[in-house]
Structure 1
Amino acid sequence: MKLLLLTAGSRGDVEPFAALARRAAASGHEVRLALPDRSGVDTTGIDARSLEADFSALIESQGVSPLAAMRSLRDVVRPVMRAVIVNAAQAALEFRPDVIAWHPKVLSAPLIADALGIPHVLVELVPVMTATREFPAAGTVTRSVGPLNRLTYRAAAGAGAMFRREVDEAAEVMGAPRSRRSSAPAATLLPISPAILPRPADWPESAVLTGAWRAREATTDAAAPTPDPALDAFLAAGPFAYAGFGSMAAGDPAARGRALVAAARARGIRLLVATGLGGIAVPDDARGDDVFVTRSVDHGVVLPRAVAAVHHGGIGTVQAATAAGTVSIVVPFIADQPFWGAMLHRRGLAPAPIPRRRVTADRLAEALAAAPAFQTAVEAAAARMADEDGAAEALGVLERLAGRPRNDALRHP
């Protein structure tokens, strides 16, 4: 099987695809991963192609404000999306795959697959496109609106219309008619653990909740060394809480850093801070031997040792923390993060989320004090996740579809 993986976005959007690429290659398949620049994901040993789109630069310049993104749509957002949409077509023409698996931001993927006469599979990293009555689409509202839940899933479809011009350009690259109706995905893969998100009863059979996609060699070995001896020494010195907001950058990162340090000290806990793209800054006068600050860490090595993890609630970090048996304290910023914070709390896996605008030392200290009450439930979820092999489940679906002709009757606008 020749498998083309198309992804876009920040680190959390790329890591699952990289894990699947490694698993498929290890199974003897020819795999190419087309991805954005500067994702922060190690692609050593993967046949990777740049889509020449830098989402990290976009976040660094615009932050995570939807309003700022709309203001910069023409000059900043649209060029990045154009690179993804058009260069995905070029990548497909070069590779000539048997099947394509694609991130929802790669809006040209269905027409690319149709032009090549191959099946395509949507990778829904968070539940935003496969409608259900059981909960609203992630990134819309955090509480159920009952019979109206299904309507919230129309938002994702509407977003694609903003980039119709770029999709038409991709069609030209493929030699396909403009504005034609593309086929529906042959399947939808959701790399999410049922321990975190139970499968809705009204999802179609084509929607597969696989479990998280992790590389077979991924480690959660608490004894594994890091590239930084100073960090190793900090990890070995006793209990600590972890704090990191990944690619999130908004508000006052120094005030957030002070609140985190004060909360940890109030609980008598040391603090490991990963500053990421600027979501946290720890001023010099707040530092001490009980605080270690670095840009990023290997979650697989760090989280199993942490007594709690304060993070933004992206699904990648949610699953990494839960699989490590570490209680999450979610500080959501945007998009699907409030959804996951609410979901963890509703399932008894975490304290109530703290919106980023309401972060204070007192609220964080209360959450750290409450975290041990969720430990047993999180450890049970971790045990369930240990038995999952999401990448293998996804690969099985792709193997069954490879080479199967598309059913032209399955069409959507």
Structure 2
Amino acid sequence: MKLLLVTAGSRGDVEPFAALARRAAPSGHEVRLAVPDDSGVDLAGLDVRSLEADFSAMIESQGVSPLAAMRNLREVVRPVMRGVIVNAAHAALEFRPDVIAWHPKVLSAPLVADALGIPHVLVELVPAMTPTREFPAAGTVTRDLGALNRLTYRAGAAAAGMFRREVDEAADVMGVGRPHHASAPAATLLPISPALLSRPADWPDSVSLTGPWRAPTQSAGGTDGAGRAPAPPASTTDAAAPASDVRTLDPALADFLDGGPFAYAGFGSMAAGDPVARGRALVAAARARGLRLLVATGLGGIAVPDDLRGDDVFVRRSVDHSVVLPRATAAVHHGGIGTVQAATASGTVSIVVPFIADQPFWGAMLQRHGLAPAPIPRKRLTADRLADALAAAPRFQSAVVAAAARMAGEDGAGEALGVLERLAARPRKAALRHP
């Protein structure tokens, strides 16, 4: 099977695709990964094609505010999306795959697949594209709207309409006219654990909730000394990087991890608001609970002033979740699905401070499943609120350990690969012709 994986976004959008690529290659498949630049994901040893788009630079320049994105649509956002949409077409023409698996931002993927006469598979990293009555689309509202939940899934289609010109350009690359209706995905894959999200009864059979995608070296099983299921290795924002040996750690970080109980805090690529105020709240809350604090500043979501630093506060731009999270007493994070799954698989209670998009959804979902205290919206983060959440975290430990045990038996990448193999084996459709 020749498999083209195309993704867009920041680190958390790239890591699951990289994990699937690592899983598919040893099975004898020819896999190419088309990705944005400078995601921070370890892509060594993979066949990689750049989409010539840098989401991390975009985030660092304008933050994660949707209003900022709209203000900078023409100058900043549109060129990045053009890189994804048009270069995905070039990548497919160069590689001639048997099947394409694509991120929802890759708006040209259905057209490209139809032009080649091959199946395409939508990868929903969060449940925002496949309608259900059971919950609203992630990134819209967190309140259950009942029968109206299905209406919230129209938001994604409306956003896609903003980039029709770029999709038309991709059609030109493929030598076809843009159809009024591209084909539906042959399958939809969600690399999410059923321990965190119950599969809706009204999803079609073509939709698979596979569990998180992990590279082949990432195995799980047994328990740690505290009776918690050890985490499959994960990188700084999501579960998908090659395993790290604690002996290769920065010696200063290794010493900190060995120094006693600590809480972890990291907001990944979230850069918005006042990072210094957040740093002060985090340090004050940890000290109020008698905890040391490990901070990953990421792309600027947290800043810890020099006057707050000491032996009980350790700061790095990024750390390896596979080593850090299983040893943390709690993980304070933004609620991206990768970090949610990495923390839960580690048996570590999450305290979610959501910023945007699907993060409030996951904060609410963890609370609903009894896996975390109520999320604290980032504009309401204070030292007192966070200290209360840290105090409450032990009450959720047993439920998180049970969820981790369920996740340890999941083989999400293997299940996804099986779906792709079956689709690639089907007879090809007729390729589209230029009118």
Q: Shared fold by TM > 0.5?
A: yes
Letter in 2 for 1:60: E
Shift of 1:109: 0.2
Shift of 1:224: 2.4
Q: Please give the secondary structure, in 2, of the residue aligned with 1:273.
A: strand
Aligned residues: 408
Letter in 2 for 1:293: V
Match of 1:411 in 2: none
Shift of 1:181: 2.0
The answer to whether structure 1 residue 253 and structure 2 residue 275 are counterparts is yes
1:181-207 CA-to-partner distances (Å, cap 9, x unmatched) read 211000000000000001001100000
Q: Please give the secondary structure, in 2, of the residue aligned with 1:225.
A: helix
Match of 2:122 in 1: 122
Task: Tell me, in whole angstroms, the C-alpha distance in 2 between the residues paired with 1:222 and 1:11.
Answer: 18
2:275–2:301: 8 Å Cα contact kept in structure 1?
yes
1:119–1:401: 8 Å Cα contact kept in structure 2?
yes
Shift of 1:227: 3.3
Q: Please give the secondary structure, in 1, of the residue aligned with 2:247.
A: coil
Shift of 1:28: 1.1
Shift of 1:406: 6.0
Letter in 2 for 1:290: D
Shift of 1:226: 4.2
Task: Tell me, in whole angstroms, the C-alpha distance in 2 between the residues paired with 1:71 and 1:96.
Answer: 37
The change in CA–CA distance for 1:226 and 1:142 in structure 2 (over 3 A counts) is: farther
TM-score (norm 2): 0.92
**Contiguous gaps of at least 5 residues in structure 2:** 219-231, 234-242, 431-435
**Correspondence for 1:229 among 229, 242, 251:** 251
**Contiguous gaps of at least 5 residues in structure 1:** 409-413
Q: Please give the secondary structure, in 1, of the residue aligned with 2:161.
A: helix
The answer to whether structure 1 residue 384 and structure 2 residue 403 are counterparts is no
1:222–1:302: 8 Å Cα contact kept in structure 2?
no
Match of 1:282 in 2: 304
Task: Tell me, in whole angstroms, the C-alpha distance in 2 between the residues paired with 1:73 and 1:223.
Answer: 42
Q: Alignment RMSD, CA only?
A: 1.2
Give % identity: 83
Task: Tell me, in whole angstroms, the C-alpha distance in 2 between the residues paired with 1:211 and 1:223.
Answer: 24
Task: Tell me, in whole angstroms, the C-alpha distance in 2 between the residues paired with 1:319 and 1:405.
Answer: 36
2:117–2:429: 8 Å Cα contact kept in structure 1?
no
Shift of 1:405: 4.0
**Correspondence for 2:338 among 297, 300, 316:** 316
Match of 1:195 in 2: 195
Q: Please give the secondary structure, in 2, of the residue aligned with 1:100.
A: strand
TM-score (norm 1): 0.97
Shift of 1:222: 9.9
1:99–1:401: 8 Å Cα contact kept in structure 2?
yes
Shift of 1:407: 6.8
Q: Please give the secondary structure, in 2, of the residue aligned with 1:157.
A: helix
2:190–2:210: 8 Å Cα contact kept in structure 1?
yes
Match of 1:358 in 2: 380
1:99–1:403: 8 Å Cα contact kept in structure 2?
no
Q: Within 5 A, what are the aligned runs for 1:9-408?
A: 9-218=9-218, 219-220=232-233, 224-405=246-427
Q: Please give the secondary structure, in 2, of the residue aligned with 1:272.
A: strand
Task: Tell me, in whole angstroms, the C-alpha distance in 1 between the residues paired with 2:425 and 2:164.
Answer: 29
Task: Tell me, in whole angstroms, the C-alpha distance in 2 between the residues paired with 1:336 and 1:282.
Answer: 26
Task: Tell me, in whole angstroms, the C-alpha distance in 1 between the residues paired with 2:253 and 2:213.
Answer: 27
Task: Tell me, in whole angstroms, the C-alpha distance in 1 between the residues paired with 2:44 and 2:164.
Answer: 34
Task: Tell me, in whole angstroms, the C-alpha distance in 2 between the residues paired with 1:337 and 1:26.
Answer: 34
Shift of 1:47: 0.6
Task: Tell me, in whole angstroms, the C-alpha distance in 2 between the residues paired with 1:153 and 1:217.
Answer: 36
2:244–2:320: 8 Å Cα contact kept in structure 1?
no
Shift of 1:223: 7.0
Q: Please give the secondary structure, in 1, of the residue aligned with 2:5.
A: strand
1:291-319 CA-to-partner distances (Å, cap 9, x unmatched) read 00000011111100100000000000000
Letter in 2 for 1:75: E
Letter in 2 for 1:349: L
The change in CA–CA distance for 1:223 and 1:164 in structure 2 (over 3 A counts) is: closer
The change in CA–CA distance for 1:223 and 1:6 in structure 2 (over 3 A counts) is: closer
The change in CA–CA distance for 1:407 and 1:194 in structure 2 (over 3 A counts) is: farther
Task: Tell me, in whole angstroms, the C-alpha distance in 2 between the residues paired with 1:222 and 1:51.
Answer: 28
1:168–1:179: 8 Å Cα contact kept in structure 2?
no
1:333-377 CA-to-partner distances (Å, cap 9, x unmatched) read 000000000000000000000000000000000000000000000
Letter in 2 for 1:56: S
2:7–2:36: 8 Å Cα contact kept in structure 1?
yes
1:241–1:310: 8 Å Cα contact kept in structure 2?
yes
2:133–2:150: 8 Å Cα contact kept in structure 1?
yes
Task: Tell me, in whole angstroms, the C-alpha distance in 1 between the residues paired with 2:41 and 2:244.
Answer: 21
Task: Tell me, in whole angstroms, the C-alpha distance in 1 between the residues paired with 2:428 and 2:336.
Answer: 34
1:119–1:405: 8 Å Cα contact kept in structure 2?
no
Shift of 1:62: 1.0
Shift of 1:217: 1.3
Q: Please give the secondary structure, in 1, of the residue aligned with 2:263.
A: strand
Task: Tell me, in whole angstroms, the C-alpha distance in 2 between the residues paired with 1:223 and 1:238.
Answer: 20
Task: Tell me, in whole angstroms, the C-alpha distance in 2 between the residues paired with 1:362 and 1:405.
Answer: 61
1:259-305 CA-to-partner distances (Å, cap 9, x unmatched) read 00000000000000000000000000011000000000111111001
Letter in 1 for 2:121: V
2:278–2:381: 8 Å Cα contact kept in structure 1?
yes
Task: Tell me, in whole angstroms, the C-alpha distance in 1 between the residues paired with 2:169 and 2:88.
Answer: 11
